[in-house]
Structure 1
């Protein structure tokens, strides 16, 4: 029986820096994501979208912006993804900001406690309210998965911590964006993490490193979720990310080749795509490029 993907949109800006990401699921559909996947041999159904959550600031809680709303979205995502999993499909979740991955992992861990996470992101998201300057919860995803941060969010899943450091491999982050507190947590947790500067060093084969990364995770986990934040790509090449990284990150071709390698892993059990901001793409060309990369990656898996 063919593997079936189920597309679920999370048009939410609850945990992010500004407006635009709530438009991503509609933009990806308009670029033909579902039809192009099917043409590439991928079996996919469209489960529609969760409710739209527009951007807003929270002046009263400056170190944890919109925490109750983020928790609400996380729980809605966990319920929606859980329904997909219970139907035997593979979730293809398109956001929306990175906090939606907390809800995705909550659904998996409730069913398969040994699920791992491959965090393909331009940031390690290791901030916490006590050390943040912005208070944006989008910058705190791994910290909350690891059991730090706001209790309402770190305890939003079936266990705390939701994941241990052995269940995470981070790939492609920009070390210049990490900061002192992030570096401390990276060292304390001994997270398995490979930066974009290491991946683009002379003599390094990034796709081989991507293959090694998923194999390391798969060695101890029967399944893993891939979190793909488009800000892992240098914004000079693809200025689509809500939080741009100009002259940082991976070249667009390298990032898409690594994405295809990750999607070919037999243990891949779900894909989350985050930080797409159509407001940065007035003619739709960037979203079209991204859809092409997703189709190529998942089409390779279907082959």
Structure 2
């Protein structure tokens, strides 16, 4: 069964303007109003509560290796990890509705506590800014993939000694644009990097390639990260960094529908209701997610508890 977790964090984003706070924290309730939670309930999903973030403070201190909202972000990540772990323990598939991309730290921590897992990072950007390639590290929403594979400051990427949350060789990125600043670096590190222009040309053709990385017998499952800015800005401008050259709604829904059944769980990030005054984009996103993630986790073998051995991955056939 799918179990929805609300994670209304905006802690990983910079302020959109001086004296303001990012709107991504409003996403779970805006999507609830658009019918997302009720639509999933019709499919048999339940809810697993809300992980509230701490107070937003625009207080980065890179000189002392502290990101924006440093303490609050770490606390939120640990609490989110605990909630995801409890959902997995009872055999459900967590669907985390964020919030900004920094929630990947909590998801990664939850999974690393349980063993070795793959990551499919679907995002319009590589989110790979880190201390080794930038002096501007401050906002984890633009640094989440780097943190997930162990390349951020240890306070972020090595919570409780669990770095890396995902091995780079078990990680696939899909959806960045060709002009992404870290594109070449990521291509040299991760198992597969597939820009949006290639995904849009042949969605089905990439599914087996992705599965070949993240759906191996040696892994205990994989996690889907979905930043809605992977959509072309003509379809989804209600994000903090919209750009052209992305996926269409149909392409994203089809991609998710292929990958979701074998995934342990998923997270949805960066939708900003402040940029959607009519609610039209929330309704569009609801249709994409219900279509794409409605069978989340249904093709997985039974989960394992922390420290246990993975269930045989071949015991559950790939859904058709």
TM-score bracket, normalised by the shorter chain, equals 0.7 to 0.9
Distance change (3 Å), C-alpha of 1:129 and 1:58: farther
Partner of 2:107: 104
CA deviations on 1:5-30 (whole Å, 9 max, x unpaired) are: 11111111111133101101111111
Correspondence 1:49 to 2:50: yes
Correspondence 1:275 to 2:270: yes
Q: Which has the higher helix share?
A: 1
Q: Matches of 2:3 and 2:295 in 1, distance apart?
A: 17
Q: Matches of 1:183 and 1:295 in 2, distance apart?
A: 30
Matches within 5 A, 1:83-162: 83-111=86-114, 113-129=115-131, 131-133=134-136, 135-162=138-165
Matches within 5 A, 1:214-253: 214-220=211-217, 221-245=219-243, 247-253=244-250
Partner of 2:254: 257
Q: Matches of 1:20 and 1:126 in 2, distance apart?
A: 22
Q: Matches of 1:57 and 1:148 in 2, distance apart?
A: 23
Partner of 1:297: 292
Give the C-alpha shift of residue 211 in structure 1: 4.3
Q: Matches of 1:47 and 1:184 in 2, distance apart?
A: 39
- SS of the equivalent of 1:143 reads helix
- SS of the equivalent of 1:57 reads coil
Correspondence 1:174 to 2:177: yes
Give the C-alpha shift of residue 195 in structure 1: 0.5
Partner of 2:194: 194
Any unmatched runs of 5+ in structure 1? none
Distance change (3 Å), C-alpha of 1:122 and 1:54: farther
- If the length of structure 1 is used for normalisation, what is the TM-score? 0.87
CA deviations on 1:202-248 (whole Å, 9 max, x unpaired) are: xx312321343234321353411100110111111111223222x23
Give the C-alpha shift of residue 256 in structure 1: 2.1
Contact 1:211 1:262 (C-alpha < 8 Å) held by counterparts: no
CA deviations on 1:63-114 (whole Å, 9 max, x unpaired) are: 7322222212111111111121122211010111111111112112212x12
CA deviations on 1:107-160 (whole Å, 9 max, x unpaired) are: 12212x121111111111111135143622211112112222211111115522
Give the C-alpha shift of residue 289 in structure 1: 1.0
Q: Matches of 2:55 and 2:97 in 1, distance apart?
A: 16
Correspondence 1:29 to 2:32: yes
Partner of 2:68: 65
- Count of residues paired in the alignment: 288
- SS of the equivalent of 1:291 reads helix
- SS of the equivalent of 2:193 reads strand
Q: Matches of 1:61 and 1:133 in 2, distance apart?
A: 7
Q: Matches of 1:85 and 1:76 in 2, distance apart?
A: 14
Q: Matches of 2:245 and 2:107 in 1, distance apart?
A: 28
Distance change (3 Å), C-alpha of 1:288 and 1:88: same
- If the length of structure 2 is used for normalisation, what is the TM-score? 0.83
Q: Matches of 1:155 and 1:118 in 2, distance apart?
A: 20
Contact 1:146 1:164 (C-alpha < 8 Å) held by counterparts: yes
